[in-house]
Amino acid sequence: MDRVALRGLKARGHHGVFPREREEGQTFIVDLVLGLDTRPAAAADDLAKTVHYGIVAEEVVDVVQGEPVDLIETLAERIAQQCLKHEGVQEVEVVVHKPDAPITVPFDDVTITITRSRA
């Protein structure tokens, strides 16, 4: 299986369990790895035979900016399901970064990583 990766998609969302997170929002960063067979697109040099990663990026940002959820696990699942709606995408790895998580000690990042597939 071939891989198309999008790294560092940024969007502001209002996800979290605390009122301040819901009210003020925060930046979330998403990394994606889409698994698909790119041979038909390469042979025909045809965008219609692969995944349009620009459209995927816009859809992922829409999910992050959309309906708030409590957990980044839920957000990651919604992103994965959106990616799998694209016909050629057979699997997806989603990493959601929450660099401004409400943690009381110094830290660099909080992430959740999930992998989902059609099978």
Sign of CA dihedral 65, 68, 74, 77: negative
What separation, in Å, do the N-terminal and C-terminal C-alpha atoms of the chain show? Answer: 14
Catalytic residue among 10, 49, 85, 98: 98
- Give yes or no: 85 in active site: no
Q: Is 74 helix (H, G, I), strand (E, B) or coil?
A: helix
Contact assessment for residue 2 and residue 30, using Cβ atoms and an 8 Å cutoff: no
The catalytic residues are: 98
